[in-house]
Structure 1
Amino acid sequence: MSVVELPAVRPTLADVACAAGVSVATASRVLNGFPGVRPETRTQVESAMTTLGYARQRAARSATPPCTGSIALIVCEDVLRLFADPYFARVVSGVSKELPNAGMQLVLLAVPSTEDHRTWVARYLKGRHVDGALVVSMHGRRPLDLDWLDIPLVFGGRPDNGEVPDRHSYVDVDNRGGAEGATRYLIGAGRTKVATVAGPQDMTVGADRLRGYWQAVVEAGRPDRGMVVFGDFGQGSGEHATARLLDRRPDVDAIFTASDLMAVGVLRALRRAGRRVPDDVAVIGFDGLPLGQRTAPPLTTVRQPIEEMGARMTRELVSMIGGPATPRRVVLDTELVVREST
């Protein structure tokens, strides 16, 4: 009887990662000598390579794009808006907390609405200069040629239906529920003329918060489209929208505002019009930014976990970079923080 000796199965990088108790992305960074990996983690991976007899397969690697050790954070706004709005700083803070554990560095890209900028960023991503990308503040337009980007993507906020291929993930907050709860709080406090300064309707976050407000006022039997004005999430737009609202509905006694920055503008417009807050008009914002504690009076707001959103997006992206992963649809809770503006 002859004995047939089967060829030995070569261990893969996934086997090494499993043996070391790390992700494939981390094992790859150790293999390629990238900085940012903790010494104890590097030792674990190298020990697993030795134990398993792992040998780098050059031919197979040549067909696979190299690991860059970088991820991109793409903000679909112009540079001035990126640095003026504290929301984005808190997203970056959440992302940055996860980067040391992942051994990654961050590339920050602002993408204004111009075609030239969108084309350049799409070309940059297609060139595999980063291993994956986080996308935030996405408007209804397609800021990137998503169908052709062969890198992992995670979106901050639920994109419009049909705008994102099924293979990508997103992390969102309960914008509709938060807005509905805030509006119900105003109605329950005895306010009878509840208006809203809504956000941009070409963004799902703006549309969802308006839907939440509308659900609450319809249930209370008080729908009035004249009570709805719009801003762009910035302070100036909140101020101008409130001036228009007071001209249209001078008897307004409460305003749910779709962002804290716009709420600051709302407070300024009410003060200029001689309206006392909260005696004449109650005001609620949305975001939970620290600036809400410093307004006069301190702002009641719907707090969303912005830093946790950035951190969760990063963890999801690193998981996708490490190997095949099922796309995730994550929705985080909000919390109404009551202060002196209501």
Structure 2
Amino acid sequence: MPPSGRAGLEQVAAHAGVSRATVSRVVNDVPTVAPELRRRVEESIRVLGYQPNLAARTLVTRRTDTIALVASEPDVRVFGDPFFSGIVRGVTMEAGAAGLQLVIMMTQSPEEIRRVSRYLTSGAVDGVLMISEHESVDPLPPALQAAAVPLVIGGRPMQPGVSVPYVDNDNVGGARMAAEHLRGLGRTVIGTVAGPQDMTAGLDRLDGFRDGLGPAFDPGLVEPGDFSQAGGEAATARLLARAPHLDALFAASDLTALGALKALHDAGRRVPDDVALVGFDDIEVAAFSSPPLTTVRQRTVLQGRAMVRLLLARIRPDRVVDGDGIPDARGVDHLVLPVELVVRASTSGCESWPCR
């Protein structure tokens, strides 16, 4: 044993009866090692408790086995919004299964963006995942591209001229289903509290809503929101002030819908008797609101996992796995995950679940 008491490559090599170079190849995941030799080295590593020198391994492999998740939002929203927490959970699950470390970073101010950019382009990570990209020109994607740092974005990229692999949910199709459901109920004054129009999710959900209503779409019944509960409440109050006979509402997120519920209650409008309400996301609380919320279900945990797989296909294709409801990430530049309409009492008035 070395003076520190920790086993080194030489001790592992002697215990396994192989050369030091063979141990080094196993530790650095070089695929040319014979299976029997690899088994012996891995067993010796386990018995001796060998811990590789990560700095030395990085010099040899030019890999850090670390990826970063960057959100262009304040930390209170990243950790408080169920959408973001689902993405983080999925990324953490898939990164851990692939043997990768994860660094989570938030950027808001220009100084934060510069600091994060310096870190990400310094060779500290093997790749980057980004979520919550806004229309305002974010210098981070171009900087990462210029430094040849692999990047995957959660959601269709917003910036013109930025061609980056991405994983999205079918926002257009989901919003179209919501609008068609409301129209199918016989509602005639159908409005929406839209998502932010500087984000592709907000734009796509408004496009899908417009498509689903067809000629019945009224631009005067569109009120901008910000995907938050407080924003949904305020936007619904504004919409009701100019459209008091509103009888159906599509909220572009479940948090927005929860705010809309309060605004409708405060205005004396019953859900679904007076106003049928549909949200988007199917966060956990949607099933327990009063009344339970009809919503478009998107699988944010699955989206986070798919983002990691799309990144792995570029940085560690040997670690990409298949299945678990995630499309094959090899050889594609984007993935769009399916969504589904979940009908509950905010549109149907049914008392048993699931609504039929």
Match of 1:230 in 2: 224
Note the 1:7-22 alignment, pairs <5 A. none
1:329 partner letter: H
Of the three residues 118, 122, 138, the one matched with 1:143 is: 138
1:151 partner letter: V
Match of 2:38 in 1: 47
Q: Would you say 1:71 and 2:67 are equivalent positions?
A: yes
CA contact (8 A) 1:29 1:69 kept: no
CA contact (8 A) 2:137 2:159 kept: no
3-state DSSP class of the match of 2:158? coil
- The whole-number CA distance in structure 2 between the counterparts of 1:97 and 1:299 is 28
Give 1:266 deviation, angstroms.
0.3
1:250 partner letter: P
Match of 1:273 in 2: 267
2:152 partner letter: V
CA contact (8 A) 1:156 1:170 kept: yes
Deviations 1:160-206 (A, max 9, x none): 263423xx311111101110111011001111000000000000110
CA contact (8 A) 2:126 2:150 kept: yes
- The whole-number CA distance in structure 2 between the counterparts of 1:315 and 1:118 is 25
Q: Would you say 1:105 and 2:110 are equivalent positions?
A: no
Q: Would you say 1:259 and 2:225 are equivalent positions?
A: no
- The whole-number CA distance in structure 1 between the counterparts of 2:177 and 2:236 is 21
Give 1:216 deviation, angstroms.
2.0
Match of 2:298 in 1: 304
Match of 1:153 in 2: 151
Of the three residues 331, 336, 339, the one matched with 2:336 is: 331
Deviations 1:104-152 (A, max 9, x none): 011111111x211111111111112111011111111233432332211
1:128 partner letter: G
Give 1:101 deviation, angstroms.
2.4
3-state DSSP class of the match of 2:346? coil
CA contact (8 A) 1:111 1:143 kept: no
Give 1:32 deviation, angstroms.
4.0
- The whole-number CA distance in structure 1 between the counterparts of 2:223 and 2:36 is 57
CA contact (8 A) 2:169 2:298 kept: yes
Aligned residues: 293
Larger CA deviation: 272-281 vs 318-327: 318-327
Q: Would you say 1:123 and 2:111 are equivalent positions?
A: no
Of the three residues 147, 165, 168, the one matched with 1:169 is: 165
In structure 2, list runs of 5 or more residues that go unmatched.
1-23, 42-56, 319-329, 348-356
Judged with a 3 Å threshold, the aligned counterparts in structure 2 of structure 1 residues 142 and 29 are, in CA distance, closer, same or farther, namely farther
Q: Would you say 1:187 and 2:177 are equivalent positions?
A: no
Give 1:214 deviation, angstroms.
1.1
Match of 2:4 in 1: none
2:301 partner letter: E
RMSD: 2.6
Match of 1:284 in 2: 278
- The whole-number CA distance in structure 2 between the counterparts of 1:103 and 1:290 is 29
State the TM-score, normalizing by the size of structure 2: 0.77
In structure 1, list runs of 5 or more residues that go unmatched.
1-27, 34-41, 51-60
1:108 partner letter: I
CA contact (8 A) 2:175 2:209 kept: yes
1:169 partner letter: P
Give 1:30 deviation, angstroms.
5.4
Instruction: Pick 1 or 2: higher relative contact order, CA cutoff 8 A, min separation 6.
Output: 1
CA contact (8 A) 1:29 1:103 kept: no
Percent identity of paired positions between Structure 1 and Structure 2: 46
2:96 partner letter: P
- The whole-number CA distance in structure 2 between the counterparts of 1:101 and 1:255 is 41
